[in-house]
C-alpha cells in the first residue's frame, strides 16, 4: 500500500469495498471544477451580452487551445463516466460483486443529494406535471424526455446516465472477470456501429451521443478496461506517471479540434464517434494520473482530496449559485470584455461560493448516508501500487 494511501484514508470517508487512492479524488476535483467553470463562463457571459438566461446559440469560438478546452468543458462529463468505470473495477477485479448490496450502496451514495435537488426543483415548477416528472426523474430516467424542474435539477440527466450504468455494472464485471477486457472492446465496437447506423438513418446525433447510455456506454466500458489493465501497466510500462503529459496534450488538442469544428452545437455524423475518442483519451489520462498522484505535494493533495470528496455536491449545486449570481447581477465589469469578465466572476465569486455550499451540503446530506454503506465484494479489495 502506498504511504499516501494510509495517510489520506485517516481523514476521508472511505469506501468499505476499495482501498482509498488520493489520485482518484484529485481527478474528481479537477473534473468537477472544469464543469463548474465551463457552466459559469458560458452562463454569465451570455447574461452579460444578451441580458437573459443562457441559450446554446451563439456558441463562442476562440483561438486559444486552453480557453477552447474550458469552453468545451462538457468533456468532463465523459471524464467522470470513464472514472466511474475505472473506480468500480479497480480493486474488485479479483473478487465477485453481490448485486443488491452494490445497488444499495449506489443508492446511499447518489440518491440523498440527488433527490434533494429533484424535489427542490419540483417545488418551483408546480405548473408542470410534477407526478409524471417525479416518476421519470426518480427511476432515474431524467435523460429521456424534456428537461424538467429548472436550475436545481439541471444535472439530473447525467446522474440518470450514471445510474443506468450502475444497474448493469455487476453483470459487466462478472463478464470481465470471465472473458477479459477484449469482450469490453467488442462491446465498444458494437456500440459505435449501432450509433452510426442510427445517425445515418436520421436520428439526432447530439441526443444519442451526449445524453444517453447508448452514447456514454463506451466511456464506462473503456474506464472499466483501464481499471482492469492498471496492475499490468504499473509493472510493465516504465514511467507510466509521465504519460500524464502527452495524455493531457491529447485531450487539449482533441478539445480544440472539436471546438473549432463548431463545438457542442455541432450535429455532424462524426459526433457518433466522439464518445469513444473522448473515452480513450480520458482513460489514458486517468491511468497516467493514478500513477502520477503520489508525486503531488502533500498540502496540494489534501486540498484536491477535499474538493474531490465534495465533488458530487459541487456537481449538483453549482448551477444554483451561477444562476443567483447572474440574476442578481453580481458581475462587475472589470475589463469591459464580457469573455474575460465572465471568467473572472466565475473564478472569483462563483467558485468560492459553490465550494462553501457544497462542503456544507456534503456534511449535512452525504456523510450520514455514506456511513451506512456496506461491503458488496466477496473478498479483500486489492490495492494497486506504483
Rg over CA atoms, the chain: 20
Round to whole Å and give the CA distance between 322 and 347: 11
∠ CA 96-101-106, nearest 5°, is 105
Number of helices and strands (H, E) in the chain?
17, 0
Positive or negative, the CA dihedral 291, 296, 298, 301 is negative
The secondary structure element, H or E, covering residue 288 is: helix 274-292
CB 338 within 8 A of CB 48: yes
Backbone phi and psi for residue 313, each to the nearest 5 degrees, phi listed first: -60, -40
pLDDT of residue 137: 93
∠ CA 315-321-326, nearest 5°, is 130
pLDDT of residue 10: 37
DSSP SS3 for 97: strand
Round to whole Å and give the CA distance between 158 and 138: 13
DSSP SS3 for 245: helix
pLDDT of residue 150: 87
| Other Cβ atoms within 10 Å of 15 Cβ, number | 18
Angle between helices 311-327 and 99-123 (to 10 degrees): 10
| Structural domain spans, the chain | 3-370
Could you tell me the CA-to-CA distances from 91 to 132, 316, 318, 378 in Å, in that order? 39, 27, 31, 12
- Burial letters for 322-354: b for 16+ Cβ neighbours within 10 Å, e otherwise? bbebbeeeebeeeeeebbebbbbbbeebbbebb
Residue identified by cell 419540483 is 122
Round to whole Å and give the CA distance between 6 and 35: 30
Distance of CA 320 to the CA centre of its chain: 18
Max CA distance (Å), the chain: 60
DSSP SS3 for 77: helix
DSSP SS3 for 377: strand
Beta bridge partner(s), residue 97: 377
- Full pLDDT tens readout for the chain, 386 residues: 343 443 333 334 567 777 789 999 999 999 999 999 999 999 999 999 999 999 999 999 999 999 999 999 999 999 999 999 999 998 788 889 999 999 999 999 999 999 999 999 988 877 667 888 889 999 999 999 888 888 999 999 999 999 999 999 999 999 999 999 999 999 999 999 999 999 999 999 999 999 999 999 999 999 999 999 999 998 888 899 999 999 999 999 999 999 999 999 999 999 999 999 999 999 999 999 999 999 999 999 999 999 999 999 999 999 999 999 999 999 999 898 999 999 999 999 999 999 999 999 999 999 999 999 999 987 444 433 22
pLDDT of residue 382: 40
Round to whole Å and give the CA distance between 159 and 312: 10
Tell me if the bond preceding 140 is cis, omega within 30° of 0. Answer: yes
Q: Which of 120, 79, 72 is nearest to 317 (CA)?
A: 120
Helix, strand, coil share of the chain (percent; to 5): 70, 0, 25
pTM of this prediction exceeds 0.95: no
Amino acid at each position: 500500500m502506498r504511504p499516501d494511501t494510509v495517510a489520506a484514508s485517516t481523514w476521508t470517508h472511505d469506501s468499505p469495498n476499495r482501498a482509498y487512492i488520493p489520485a482518484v479524488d484529485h481527478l474528481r476535483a479537477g473534473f468537477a471544477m472544469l464543469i463548474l467553470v465551463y457552466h459559469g463562463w458560458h452562463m454569465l457571459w451570455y447574461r452579460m451580452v444578451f441580458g437573459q438566461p443562457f441559450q446554446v446559440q451563439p456558441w463562442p469560438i476562440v483561438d486559444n487551445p486552453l480557453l477552447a478546452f474550458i469552453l468545451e468543458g462538457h468533456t468532463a462529463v465523459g471524464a467522470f463516466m470513464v472514472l466511474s468505470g475505472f473506480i468500480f473495477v479497480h480493486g474488485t477485479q479479483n473478487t465477485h460483486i453481490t448485486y443488491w448490496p452494490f445497488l444499495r450502496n449506489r443508492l446511499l451514495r447518489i440518491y440523498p443529494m440527488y433527490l434533494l435537488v429533484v424535489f427542490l426543483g419540483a417545488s418551483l415548477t408546480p405548473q408542470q406535471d410534477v407526478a409524471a416528472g417525479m416518476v421519470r426523474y426518480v427511476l432515474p430516467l431524467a435523460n429521456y424526455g424534456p428537461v424538467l424542474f429548472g436550475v436545481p435539477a439541471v444535472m439530473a440527466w447525467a446522474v440518470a446516465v450514471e445510474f443506468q450504468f450502475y444497474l448493469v455494472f455487476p453483470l459487466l464485471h462478472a463478464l470481465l472477470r470471465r472473458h477479459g477486457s477484449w469482450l469490453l472492446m467488442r462491446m465498444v465496437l458494437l456500440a459505435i456501429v449501432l450509433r452510426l447506423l442510427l445517425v445515418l438513418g436520421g436520428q439526432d446525433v447530439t441526443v444519442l451521443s451526449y445524453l444517453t447510455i447508448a452514447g456514454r456506454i463506451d466511456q464506462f466500458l473503456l474506464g472499466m478496461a483501464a481499471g482492469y489493465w492498471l496492475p499490468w501497466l504499473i509493472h510493465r510500462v516504465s514511467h507510466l506517471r509521465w504519460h500524464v503529459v502527452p495524455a493531457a496534450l491529447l485531450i487539449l488538442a482533441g478539445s480544440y479540434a472539436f471546438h473549432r469544428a463548431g463545438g457542442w452545437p455541432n450535429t455532424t455524423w462524426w459526433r457518433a464517434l466522439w464518445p469513444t475518442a473522448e473515452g480513450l483519451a480520458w482513460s489514458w489520462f486517468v491511468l497516467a494520473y493514478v500513477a502520477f498522484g503520489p508525486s503531488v505535494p502533500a498540502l496540494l493533495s489534501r486540498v484536491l482530496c477535499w474538493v474531490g470528496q465534495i465533488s458530487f455536491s459541487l456537481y449538483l449545486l453549482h448551477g444554483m449559485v451561477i444562476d443567483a449570481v447572474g440574476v442578481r447581477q453580481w458581475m462587475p465589469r472589470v475589463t469591459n470584455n464580457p469573455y474575460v469578465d465572465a471568467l473572472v466572476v466565475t473564478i472569483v465569486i462563483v467558485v468560492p461560493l459553490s465550494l462553501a455550499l457544497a462542503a456544507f451540503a456534503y456534511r449535512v446530506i452525504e456523510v450520514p448516508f455514506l456511513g451506512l454503506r456496506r461491503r458488496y465484494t466477496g473478498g479483500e479489495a486489492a490495492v494497486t501500487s506504483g
